[in-house]
């Protein structure tokens, strides 16, 4: 899934990684790509939680992440010394 923010939030990756239901593939201060497995109700609850946590979410949509993207994100995380 892709999450886009209306304004930058420093520490977005860390805030998202604190949620046990998702895995962050990539993130910067304006947007993130995450892996989230859940039905429509679970997606609604995730969006509700993000908004309740004060994140200025302006877009929240499913996105296909291919194997190459996942591999590159894993390599980038390893280069930063962070677990993907």
CB 17 within 8 A of CB 78: no
Query: What mean pLDDT value characterizes the chain?
Result: 87
Would the pTM count as exceeding 0.85?
no
Query: Would you say the C-alpha torsion 66, 29, 57, 84 has a positive or negative sign?
Result: positive
State pLDDT tens for residues 46-69: 999 999 999 999 999 987 666 776
Q: What is the pLDDT of residue 59?
A: 96
Q: CA distances (Å), 74 to each of 22, 36, 39, 61, in order?
A: 15, 17, 26, 22
Higher pLDDT, 20 or 77: 20
Domain ranges of the chain: 2-80
Question: Strand 57-61 and strand 2-5: pairing?
Answer: antiparallel
Residues 6 or more apart whose CB falls under 8 angstroms from that of 53 comprise 15
């Amino acid at each position: 899934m892709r999450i886009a923010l209306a304004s930058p939030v420093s520490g977005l990756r860390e805030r998202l990684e604190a949620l046990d239901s998702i895995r962050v593939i990539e993130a910067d201060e304006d947007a993130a790509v995450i892996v989230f497995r859940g039905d429509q109700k679970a997606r609604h609850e995730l969006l509700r939680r993000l908004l309740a946590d004060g994140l200025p979410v302006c877009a929240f949509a499913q996105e296909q992440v291919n194997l190459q993207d996942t591999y590159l994100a894993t390599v980038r995380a390893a280069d930063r010394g962070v677990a993907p």
